[in-house]
């Protein structure tokens, strides 16, 4: 997060620097927690694609230091601070009436915990954070699983390459994003590969009842993904925090209450998202749906599966017979869809990430909290310098 004219338009970007977060993404996690109470009863967490580390900072401050955020904290503790920030960005309070405020000091009573384990992984190095184990690794690479399990102090049966470890993790987060190319379909495809890599890791380490939160790009087939996730989690939501720009296709899937299907064991040999394992599981799941009683059979206009629960008294009443089920399967060719509930989260009076806010005349742009450790553009800048600047040694303007 560097200094730039973004300061002028993005309240969260500026607020992150004011509050000491390494990236504006911190607010996304805080707003997701506000909605889903993600950190309740959580002590062991894996933070995938974690650099520069603002989500890990949130984890460290909430779980290790015991700081409180979320809606109640905003209302009680930070009402004054919030009012001041609104004054800083908006017309509500003249800057001259603002009282000085210690931005980084938390006035809440802390309740530090010693039993917390947080492991953060990224391709990029992550500058150290108190209480967090950081790993530099590729989450799409199979060798990352044993690294992670070792970091979690879990047993790993290297010989059979199976995850015999106790499933020790309460929450797996993934904010993974590839370098966006601007080619919409390609970006969505690469993002979905990252998501499956994160899911495979999560399935190896999550304990039953655990939670999985991951960034997605909403493309046209995202409801196939929701249906797949429903195999493993009781509840699947898609959430858009207020700090995530409305103009962006980014959203987060929030999967609660991990319930692996009977007989399922995560395997590196057969990762989900590659081959047919997942679609076979979907088929099996579909076959096991009862044809009578409370079920979710719905194929009204699109031929797709819908989340709307329909209580059917008998198969005949809706004309759904085993034969027609086969037809539906054939028609969808395994593309079973499910529409996840969409939830916008973050206080509606919080800053709008797409809005511009007026800055006071004496506004000073702050330095980034954590300069990038190894930004991908570093080499490009070095090469440009060596070449004699943006226009090269030709002097072309």
**Window 177-216: residues binding ligand SAM (CB under 6 A):** 177-178, 194
Query: Would you count residue 140 as binding ligand SAM (CB under 6 A)?
Result: yes
- Active site (annotated) includes residue 215: yes
Burial of 313 (0-12, 13-18, 19+ CB in 10 A): exposed
From the list 28, 215, 230, 240, the catalytic residue is 215
Query: Would you count residue 338 as binding ligand SAM (CB under 6 A)?
Result: no
Degrees (nearest 5) of the Cα angle 175, 138, 261?
70
Least distance to ligand SAM, CB of residue 287, Å: 35
Q: Which is nearer to ligand SAM, 49 or 336 (CB)?
A: 49
Least distance to ligand SAM, CB of residue 235, Å: 23
Query: Would you count residue 138 as binding ligand SAM (CB under 6 A)?
Result: yes
Q: What is the bridge-based pairing of β-strands 293-295 and 310-312? A: antiparallel
Least distance to ligand SAM, CB of residue 75, Å: 25
The span from the CA of 290 to the CA of 159, in Å, is: 40
The span from the CA of 45 to the CA of 285, in Å, is: 29
Interface residue with ligand SAM among 27, 36, 55, 89 (CB under 6 A) is: 55
Q: Which is nearer to ligand SAM, 34 or 122 (CB)?
A: 122
Least distance to ligand SAM, CB of residue 177, Å: 4
Interface residue with ligand SAM among 31, 54, 192, 353 (CB under 6 A) is: 54
Q: Which two tokens stand for residue 49?
A: 């694609």
Q: Angle, nearest 10°, between helix axes 26-36 and 11-19?
A: 90
Query: Would you count residue 101 as binding ligand SAM (CB under 6 A)?
Result: no
CB neighbours of 324 closer than 8 A, spacing ≥ 6? Answer: none
DSSP state string for 288-308 = TS-SSEEE----SSSS---S-
Closest CA to 266 of 188, 219, 307, 206: 206
Q: Which is nearer to ligand SAM, 151 or 315 (CB)?
A: 151
DSSP state string for 307-356 = S--EEES-TGGGT--HHHHHHHHHHHTT-----PPEEEES-TTSPPTTS-
Q: Which is nearer to ligand SAM, 49 or 145 (CB)?
A: 49
Query: Would you count residue 11 as binding ligand SAM (CB under 6 A)?
Result: no
**Chain contacts with ligand SAM (rule: CB under 6 A):** 22-23, 25, 49-55, 121-124, 138-140, 175-178, 194
* Active centre residues (catalytic): 215
């Amino acid at each position: 997060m560097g200094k730039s004219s973004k300061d002028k338009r993005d309240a969260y970007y500026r607020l992150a620097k004011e509050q000491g977060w390494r990236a504006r993404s911190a607010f996304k996690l805080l707003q997701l927690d506000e909605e889903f109470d993600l950190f309740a009863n959580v002590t062991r967490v894996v933070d995938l694609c974690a650099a520069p580390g603002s989500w890990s900072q949130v984890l460290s401050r909430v779980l290790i230091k015991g700081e409180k955020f979320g809606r109640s904290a905003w209302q009680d503790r930070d009402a004054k601070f919030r009012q001041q920030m609104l004054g800083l960005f908006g017309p509500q309070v003249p800057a001259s009436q603002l009282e000085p405020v210690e931005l980084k000091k938390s006035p809440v009573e802390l309740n530090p915990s010693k039993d917390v384990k947080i492991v953060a992984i990224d391709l990029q190095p992550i500058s150290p954070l108190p209480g967090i184990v950081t790993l530099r690794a590729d989450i799409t690479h199979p060798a990352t699983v044993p690294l992670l399990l070792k970091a979690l102090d879990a047993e790993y049966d290297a010989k059979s390459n199976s995850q015999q470890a106790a499933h020790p993790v309460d929450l797996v987060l993934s904010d993974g994003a590839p370098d966006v190319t601007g080619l919409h379909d390609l970006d969505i495809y690469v993002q979905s590969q990252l998501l499956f890599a994160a899911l495979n890791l999560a399935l190896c380490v999550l304990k039953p009842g655990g939670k999985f939160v991951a960034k997605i790009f909403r493309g046209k087939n995202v409801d196939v993904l929701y249906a797949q996730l429903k195999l493993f989690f009781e509840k699947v939501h898609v959430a858009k925090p207020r700090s995530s720009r409305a103009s962006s296709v980014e959203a987060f899937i929030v999967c609660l209450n991990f319930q692996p299907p009977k007989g399922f064991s995560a395997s590196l040999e057969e990762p989900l998202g590659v081959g047919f394992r997942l679609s076979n599981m979907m088929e099996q799941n579909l076959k096991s749906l009862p044809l009578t009683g409370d079920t979710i059979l719905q194929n009204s206009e699109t031929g797709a599966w819908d989340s709307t629960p329909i209580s059917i008294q008998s198969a005949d009443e809706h004309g759904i017979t085993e034969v027609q089920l086969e037809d539906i399967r054939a028609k969808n060719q395994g593309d079973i869809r499910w529409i996840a509930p969409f939830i916008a989260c973050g206080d509606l009076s919080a800053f709008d990430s797409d809005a511009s806010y007026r800055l006071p005349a004496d506004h000073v742009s702050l330095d980034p909290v954590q300069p990038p450790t190894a930004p991908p553009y570093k080499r490009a800048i070095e090469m440009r310098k060596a070449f004699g600047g943006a226009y090269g040694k030709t002097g072309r303007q």
